[in-house]
Chain A
Amino acid sequence: QVQLVESGGGLVKPGGSLRLSCAASGFFFSDYYMTWIRQAPGKGLEWLSYISNSGSSMHYADSVKGRFTISRDNAKNSLYLQMDSLTAEDTALYYCVRDITAPGSTYYFDLWGRGTVVTVSS
Chain B
Amino acid sequence: QSVLTQPPSVSAAPGQKVTISCSGSTSNIGKKYVSWYQQLPGTAPKLLIYDNNKRPSGIPDRFSGSKSGTSATLDITGLQTGDEAHYYCGTWDDSLGAPRVFGGGTKLTVL
Is the A/B pair a real complex?
yes
Residues of B within 8 A of A60 (CB): 97
A109 lies within 8 A of chain B by Cβ = yes
Residues of A within 8 A of B99 (CB): 47, 50, 59
Residues of B within 8 A of A47 (CB): 90, 98-102
For residue B35, which residue of chain A has the nearest CB? A108
Q: Which of B32, B33, B98 contacts A62 (CB 8 A)?
A: B98
Query: Judging by beta carbons under 8 Å apart, are A106 and B50 in contact?
Result: yes
Interface string of A18-38 (1 = CB under 8 A from B): 000000000000000001000
B104 lies within 8 A of chain A by Cβ = yes
Query: Judging by beta carbons under 8 Å apart, are A106 and B47 in contact?
Result: no
Q: Which of A59, A62, A107 contacts B91 (CB 8 A)?
A: A107
Most buried by A among B88, B102, B105: B102
Query: Judging by beta carbons under 8 Å apart, are B91 and A113 in contact?
Result: no
Query: Judging by beta carbons under 8 Å apart, are A45 and B46 in contact?
Result: no
- A-B CB contacts (within 8 Å), total count: 67
Query: Judging by beta carbons under 8 Å apart, are A108 and B46 in contact?
Result: no
Cα A105 to Cα B35 in complex, Å, equals: 13
Cα A85 to Cα B33 in complex, Å, equals: 34
Cα A118 to Cα B28 in complex, Å, equals: 30
Query: Judging by beta carbons under 8 Å apart, are A107 and B100 in contact?
Result: yes
Residues of A within 8 A of B2 (CB): 44
B56 lies within 8 A of chain A by Cβ = yes
Identify which of residues 16-45 in chain B touch chain A, using a CB-to-CB cut-off of 8 Å: 32-33, 35, 37, 43-45
For residue B51, which residue of chain A has the nearest CB? A106
Cα A59 to Cα B2 in complex, Å, equals: 19
Q: Which of A46, A65, A105, A114 contacts B44 (CB 8 A)?
A: A114
Cα A114 to Cα B44 in complex, Å, equals: 6
